[in-house]
Amino acid sequence: MITCEVMLPVSTSWIIISVVYASNDEVERRLLWKEIKEMSVDSRVVGKPWLVQGDFNQTLNPHEHSIYAAQKLDSRMMEFRTSLHDADISDLTCKGETFTWWNKSSSRPVAKKLDRALINEHWMNLFPASYAIFGEPDFSDHASCGVVLDHGSTHQKRPFKFFNFLLQNKELLPIIADHWFSCSIFGSAMFRVSRKLKLLKNIIRKFSKQNFSGIEKRTEEAHERLLLTQGRVLADPSTENAQKNWGVLAAAEEAFLCQKSRVTWLKEGDSNSAYFHRVAAGRKVINHIHFLVDENGERIETDQGIREHCVEHFQNFLGGEESQKMFIQEDIDLLLPYRCSDVQKSFLQADFSSEDIKTAFFELPRNKTSGPDGYSAEFFTGCWIIVGPEVTEAVKEFFSSGKLLRQWNSTTLVLIPKISNASSTSDFRPISCLNTVYKVISKLLVSRLQTVLLDIISPSQSAFMPGRLLAENVLLATEIVHGYNWRNIEPRGMLKVDLRKAFDSVRWDFITATLKAIGMPTCFVNWIDQCISTASFSVSVNGNSGGFFKSTKGLRQGDPLSPYLFVLAMEVFSKLLQSRFDAGYIHYHPRTAELNISHLMFADDVMVFFDGGTSSLHGIAETLDDFASWSGLRMNKDKTQLFHAGVTQNEASAFGDYGFTIGSLPICYLGLPLMHRKLKTIEYEPLMDKLRGRFKSWAAKTLSFAGRAQLIASVISGTVNFWISTFMLPKGCIRKIESLCARFLWTGTIDSSRGAKVAWSTVCLPKSEGGLGLRRFADWNKTLCLRFIWLLFSGKDTLWSSWHKHHYIQDASFWSIKENVRASASWNSILKLRGIARQFLITMTGNGQTTSFWFDWWTPLGPLLEVIGDQGPRNLRIPINAKVSEVCASGSWNLSQPRSDFEVALHIHLTTIPVPAASMRDDYYGWMVNKEICVGYDAYKTWEVMRPRSEVKQWSSSVWFKGAVPKHAFNMWISQLDRLPTRARLASWGIIQHADCCFCGREVETRDHLFVRCPFSKLIWSSALQKINPRPRHFQNWSEILSWTRNDSNRAPTLLRKIVAQAVVYHIWRQRNNIIHNGCNIPQETISKAIYREIINTITARRKRRRFNGLMTLWLR
């Protein structure tokens, strides 16, 4: 590696560039990794922009190999990853070739990504628009690589955007009120609101510039002034103004960065500004379009050229000339038999109340991108007392007039890359950013449309329908393709249909025709027509918008209405396809024929199952063409895949005439693997890769411990839940996931297994029981999959439950079915959960026709087979699969003579239970947890019963409380568990020889000595406690500290005691580490002052919380 320092002609900053040519030898490469890590902490590099570029002769991920399926994450990749993590460098955004090296073999070509351009955070801050471009190899076996520092964009005035942190300044609302009420504007209510909002933009811009321009720099300067003031007069309340000024700016900075980052899972107020900053910077880099390649292969590099090219593309696509209508209303009327009732019609066209409109505003998701007018949902809710009445009047005006102001329905298209190295317009997904007021109108319409859709949409569709699970689609598809790899199988086929730009292509007149077909009121149809047909578009490229055009088709991705209207449109296809099956043009798949299941759909993801014959495939293709001519939704043949099994060679050859790609299992279906056999370890790699990507993201390195715990609890758990709510993951896979979580939690990286201070089983206990409140994935996996057993008994005849009852259960009892090697792995895994489900599932017996006499829990005794034993059916001469209704006749129990005392007792017990009769209601099942019957299936309550438990810890309230400083609380938690690496513990592990206290050197450094008995610590405690304790207080052991925090008094309330205790413990431990690791011996007085300041900062940051009222007075007294 050669490293040089460079001064660019156009810059006043020195930058560091390192050029790498790595060895082919693994051992020699390790020396390079070590050199990179050492260079990252070299004084000549620290704090400067650093670029490391060249041939590393090592891939970083398995997918950086052209034969991806054969690759695994090996030790060489892990070592490379670790070195880059330790050096805090990551890939610069790159364009061009994905692979940068190939072996130049024509018979067995292999390509890899061996060349990279890596940067540190300082480089990203100085050159935010820089990128690497990998070109053609030419004569070499490696791609050329160049780094572009600035693509030459010119600064343009950015469109208005309301930043939510402005609402934290109390001076803003009076200014808004003054200008809002002083404007005299005439016209419709919608026009008046639109005009006032437009005039208000300059006022808000001016206010923001005066108070918060350059907020990150101003926050840093304010903090420096605060420290300087505190340093001069530590105890003088005159620091209050500096403190307040810094607090306001710091909170505003965090809120500003949070809004830019679009992070919704992490709370503001936990000092996560560094994380928000990195996410925001990362988003900007990823979404930045450096250049595009047009249809002729020409590169467009200027911002204006890129913007004009994008506008032209989307204007031609969305606003092109509308094709001729190819359907008649009567055809759709015949296909959709459902008609809205008079009651439903009245509900759909009823007036919306002021409260309905206000609730819609306040229920909008927070921290979302605003529309073209720049106003966020937070603006309207924060200023509701001012703008609310007129905005409400304007929304009502739309519903009364049936006309929508076009400005309200303007849309900004934001382009999100679908792939890395995106370079053409087709590589980007257009997301519609809508004005907040329009989103409220759309949301109000959705609230009513949803009420009728469940009755209209057929069971084969599960997207956006409450109570229908994506997992059911995946598992049913898994059952249908099960055995596709078997020999001598009956012919069968499956067509996985890809619809070309589905949401953007659907015809508006087709949408309104479907609404009319189901009998929706004319005014409701008109409201929706206004929403979808009056939209106008501009395209945002690198933060600047261009173009203004109207569309002639399509549903906007980002509009609350779009998913539901699309599902309704696809229902026409569902009914059309089913009619072709019913007419015999298409024949059923052998595993779906008896239940007439022809297809499964999840939004635009369509799977059609058929008998494997060419005539059936012809019928499917014809149906797709007919539907395309009606709706505008056309099949993309290049991406549509055909799967078949058991067909003859002639049939297989005939399939080629249709132009479909012949697919092979497994494939990815709805984000999960669709398998014809049991999942192998390699099939779980996409999940592991996604988790590794989350953990190793550049921004995640800056998270505090509390932030890392929150990342695991929300983002990571959400990713894992997507899988474990469908499949029972192997124990080995779950162990790997939990290992990654534990490593990240304790070290901030997944590349080191050292540093875990507390067992993962303890971490996953609730906080009240001594843990962190995370969940064990194995227990949660079982809990989520128990839902499938509930579906079999709940009475909801979904396609999944109906299919399994028909094929696997039939006339037998679910509880008596044996696992079968010919059955699918998913079904066998569900059967393994029966022992757990039995304790929750109870029967409410009515007519007794579905309740199993032996297996179901229909008497207070529990399942009778468990009470009497396996000999029960034989002794009582009642068949094992008998229903309760079969054991009674003529209003009494029909039992044979008892042969034992136990059977006599059973006879007597049954006489206390009402005898079922045909005239009684149907049997039904309930999910009972802790003797309470849940409303449906309750995963959380079920998990609470199933999870490992520990005794409630009295000390937990001293560690975890609202308002605790996260890093202090974590340190207190570790201290309470006595898991800090004190010198006594290090000596017991043989790591060090001497365990003397680093402060006093007199005694062994145990937890109790370090924090309680050491003279140095006593002085710190004394200094802190004298602020709130009138009499000197000396603790004798750790337990006394916790006991003291739980006591309460007017002078020292419990909350203040906890804050003080945690701050003292944290700073003692921090100073202990300073001495050991840095040789820095800070005087006790300095530490006490730092504690004093930190408690002031803690109370100030939480001053708006009711529980913190008065704490500052008590502390400063």
Q: Which of 284, 321, 700, 335 is nearest to 513 (CA)?
A: 335
Weakest-pLDDT range from 162-171, 556-565, 1082-1091: 162-171
Percent of the chain residues topping a pLDDT of 90 = 50
Domain's final residue, options 734, 757, 780: 757
Q: For residue 263, is it left (φ>0), alpha (ψ between -120 and 50) or beta?
A: beta
Number of Cβ within 10 Å of residue 1034's Cβ equals 11
More reliable by pLDDT, 66 or 887? 887
The whole-number pLDDT of residue 23 equals: 92
Whether 397 is covered by a domain: the verdict is no
- Tens of pLDDT, residue by residue over 832-851, are 999 999 999 999 999 999 89
Do both 13 and 130 map to the same domain? Answer: yes
Tell me the three state secondary structure of residue 674.
strand
Q: Which of 713, 700, 481, 499 is nearest to 612 (CA)?
A: 481
602: tokens are 């999840």
Most confident of 87-96, 118-127, 131-140, 654-663: 654-663
Contact indicator for 162, 375 with CB cutoff of 8 Å: yes
How many CA atoms lie less than 13 Å away from 1062 in the CB half-sphere? 29
Q: Which domain holds residue 486?
A: 329-350+402-668
Q: What is the DSSP letter of 676?
A: S
Tell me the three state secondary structure of residue 774.
coil
Q: Which residues, including other chains, have CB under 8 Å from residue 417's CB and lie 6 or more apart?
A: 286, 287, 427, 428, 429
CA 665/CA 676 separation, integer angstroms: 7
CA 758/CA 980 separation, integer angstroms: 10
∠ at Cα 216 (214, 219), nearest 5°? 105
Query: Strands 661-662 and 667-669, how do they pair?
Result: unpaired
Do both 969 and 939 map to the same domain? Answer: no
Q: What is the mean pLDDT of residues 352-360?
A: 96
Do both 871 and 927 map to the same domain? Answer: yes
The whole-number pLDDT of residue 259 equals: 46
The whole-number pLDDT of residue 265 equals: 41
Do both 739 and 814 map to the same domain? Answer: no
The whole-number pLDDT of residue 750 equals: 82
More reliable by pLDDT, 243 or 318? 318
- Residue showing tokens 């070299």: 42
The whole-number pLDDT of residue 257 equals: 44
Query: Does an H or E element contain 29, and which?
Result: helix 26-40
Question: pTM for the full model?
Answer: 0.83
Whether 323 is covered by a domain: the verdict is no
Q: Which residues, including other chains, have CB under 8 Å from residue 332's CB and lie 6 or more apart?
A: 513, 514, 517, 572, 630
Number of domains in the chain: 5
What phi, psi does 520 have (nearest 5°)?
-75, 150
CA 133/CA 148 separation, integer angstroms: 8
Does the pLDDT of residue 299 top 90, yes or no? no
CA 1111/CA 1083 separation, integer angstroms: 27
Do both 573 and 689 map to the same domain? Answer: no
Q: Which residues pair with 939 in a beta bridge?
A: none
The whole-number pLDDT of residue 278 equals: 52
- Tens of pLDDT, residue by residue over 697-753, are 755 666 778 788 888 888 888 889 999 999 999 898 999 999 999 998 988 888 777
Tell me the three state secondary structure of residue 641.
strand
CA 572/CA 630 separation, integer angstroms: 10
Q: What is the DSSP letter of 1110?
A: T
Whether 914 is covered by a domain: the verdict is yes
320: tokens are 């092109």
DSSP 179-207: HHHH----S-HHHHHHHHHHHHHHHHHHH
Do both 714 and 834 map to the same domain? Answer: no
Do both 535 and 657 map to the same domain? Answer: yes
Q: What is the mean pLDDT of residues 510-534?
A: 96
Handedness of CA 78, 83, 85, 90 (dihedral sign): negative
Do both 658 and 694 map to the same domain? Answer: no
In the predicted model, what is the mean pLDDT of the chain? 87
Contact indicator for 511, 565 with CB cutoff of 8 Å: yes
Contact indicator for 477, 824 with CB cutoff of 8 Å: no
Q: What is the mean pLDDT of residues 312-329?
A: 86
- Residue showing tokens 């450096």: 290
Whether 201 is covered by a domain: the verdict is no
- Tens of pLDDT, residue by residue over 699-709, are 566 677 878 88
Whether 175 is covered by a domain: the verdict is no
CA 175/CA 202 separation, integer angstroms: 12
Domain's final residue, options 105, 133, 148: 148
Q: What is the mean pLDDT of residues 460-467?
A: 89
- 68, with CB counted inside 10 A (0-12, 13-18, 19+), is exposed
Weakest-pLDDT range from 153-157, 675-679, 815-819, 892-896: 153-157
What phi, psi does 889 have (nearest 5°)?
-155, 140
Q: Which residues, including other chains, have CB under 8 Å from residue 530's CB and lie 6 or more apart?
A: 398, 402, 403, 404
Do both 744 and 796 map to the same domain? Answer: no
Contact indicator for 729, 684 with CB cutoff of 8 Å: yes
The whole-number pLDDT of residue 873 equals: 87
First to last CA, the chain: 60
Weakest-pLDDT range from 15-29, 280-294, 357-371, 465-479: 280-294
Whether 390 is covered by a domain: the verdict is no
Do both 1107 and 1083 map to the same domain? Answer: yes
The whole-number pLDDT of residue 151 equals: 56
The whole-number pLDDT of residue 281 equals: 54
Contact indicator for 688, 736 with CB cutoff of 8 Å: yes
Q: What is the DSSP letter of 70?
A: G
The whole-number pLDDT of residue 906 equals: 83
The whole-number pLDDT of residue 221 equals: 47
CA 221/CA 246 separation, integer angstroms: 9
Weakest-pLDDT range from 77-91, 243-257, 316-330: 243-257
Torsion angle in degrees (nearest 10) through CA of 819, 822, 826, 827:
-50
CATH number for the domain harbouring residue 105: 3.60.10.10
Do both 468 and 587 map to the same domain? Answer: yes
Do both 698 and 599 map to the same domain? Answer: no
Residue 943: C-alpha distances to residues 40, 607, 736, 790, 930 (Å): 46, 34, 22, 14, 12
Does the pLDDT of residue 453 top 50, yes or no? yes
Number of Cβ within 10 Å of residue 921's Cβ equals 9
- Tens of pLDDT, residue by residue over 394-425, are 999 999 999 999 999 999 999 888 877 788 88
Query: Strands 50-55 and 14-21, how do they pair?
Result: parallel
- Per-residue confidence band for 445, with pLDDT thresholds at 50, 70 and 90: very high
- Tens of pLDDT, residue by residue over 1013-1024, are 999 999 999 999
- 760, with CB counted inside 10 A (0-12, 13-18, 19+), is middle
Contact indicator for 261, 276 with CB cutoff of 8 Å: yes
Whether 375 is covered by a domain: the verdict is no
Contact indicator for 524, 398 with CB cutoff of 8 Å: no
Whether 253 is covered by a domain: the verdict is no
Q: Which residues pair with 544 in a beta bridge?
A: 541
Q: What is the DSSP letter of 935?
A: S
